Amino acid sequence: MHKIKLTIHHLYQDHADGKQDARATARIYAGDRLIITETMSGQALHYPRYLSAADDNGQPLRVEWDTDGCAAMSVSRAEVCPCCGGDEWH
């Protein structure tokens, strides 16, 4: 089973008191076609999210995002376990 793996390398807001929660909206494209819009909030560090994309056309993936803080993300295709949806096979 194939999924789209969105890895949030970091997401946070920098404040004088330290890091705080941030919001971000990621737009994932296959070629020039928008296939997923994903909204997230909180803080994250190297956090993977596995998303379904019925409109995935096999073209190269890219991710763009808007955030009210600091963020870095990447996207790839991943094969996941058919019984649990995890990234490790049983």
Interval 48-86: pLDDT, tens: 999 998 889 999 999 999 999 999 999 999 988 877 766
CA dist list (Å): 37 to 19, 33, 54, 81:
25, 12, 13, 23
Q: What pTM does this model have? A: 0.86
